[in-house]
Amino acid sequence: MNDIALDTPASRAALGRRAVQASARLWFLIAALGHGIFLIYILAVFFPPVASHGLAGLDGLHLPSGFREGDALGNLAAVSHVLLAALVIGGGPLQLIPGVRQRFPIFHRWLGRAYLFAAMLSALGGLYMTWTRSPIGDLLSKAGISIDAILILVFGAMALRSALARRFDLHRRWAMRLFLAASAVWFFRVGLMAWVTLTGGIGIDFETFTGPFLYVLGFAQYLLPLAMLEWYFRAHRSSDQGMQLAFSITLLLLTGVMSIGIGTATMGMWLPRM
């Protein structure tokens, strides 16, 4: 009788929501670890030369949009984009940890303001460099980057607006969208390295850095995480156990691919340059 009583629509929905939450927590844990490794890379590789030589420090880093003699505005955009990335990559996961938000509300608010400023300013700098300086990719690649920058600006504005209106549930949703859009630079690297590991780089012309896969990844780097987030919102509210199970399995599979990308990027891209 007890077993029958437990097998009710409400109990099944609760079980489904627990599966959704468990898969989301695992994804976030691994994503936060990957962000932390990328943050260490940024701090170790980019900060020392800029601290020692100012804007000219970018010259030795072989960046496609690095230092250019006589281009003060472009150099400022490049260095701010690189240095602000540390705050975006490091601050984003911290903002989404409930324990930090609940136990250290003042820190959460000030970090949120700094994160919002850094993400939006970095997006503007990225837009400027994409259309005036970047020699990598073609028109379609630049369109993908530009749409992401616009989404960052929109999500940032909506997160700020909802916070000022004290609609904190809505603010949290916009902040999560902002985090995923602002982390696209990280998703791109992780997705690229996972694809190269699993397929050997099918669909990529490494000389011109173009190709079918890169066109897809240029948009998927933010559209796929954002689509999964919207699915998460629906699955968390739903009583449809089938949808909850489908979401959990899909997210677990994507988490596995992401883990491969993090491992390959760490060993092949980040650690060797530190």
pLDDT for position 47: 78
pLDDT over 50 (residue 15): yes
pLDDT over 90 (residue 253): yes
Q: Tell me the CA end-to-end span of the chain in Å, nearest whole number.
A: 62
pLDDT grade, residue 5 (50/70/90)?
A: very low
The arithmetic mean of pLDDT across residues 195-203, rounded, is: 95
Count Cβ neighbours within 10 Å for each residue of 109-125 and write b for 16 or more, e otherwise. eebbeebbebbbbbbeb
pLDDT for position 59: 63
Kind plus residue range of the DSSP H or E element containing 253? helix 241-265
pTM over 0.85: yes
pLDDT for position 238: 86
pLDDT grade, residue 13 (50/70/90)?
A: low
d(CA 210, CA 79) in angstroms, rounded, equals 25
Kind plus residue range of the DSSP H or E element containing 220? helix 212-237
pLDDT over 50 (residue 81): yes
pLDDT for position 132: 75
- Does residue 225 sit in helix, strand or coil? helix
Mean pLDDT in the chain? 86
Note the pLDDT tens digit of each residue in 84-140: 888 999 999 999 998 998 899 999 999 999 999 999 988 988 888 777 766 556 788
Cβ atoms within 10 Å of 47's Cβ, excluding its own: 14
- Does residue 36 sit in helix, strand or coil? helix
pLDDT grade, residue 267 (50/70/90)?
A: very high
Percent of the chain, pLDDT > 70?
Answer: 82
d(CA 14, CA 41) in angstroms, rounded, equals 41
Which residues does 78 contact at the CB level (< 8 Å), separation at least 6? 55, 58, 63, 65, 66, 67, 125, 129, 133
pLDDT for position 141: 81
pLDDT over 60 (residue 255): yes
pLDDT over 60 (residue 77): yes
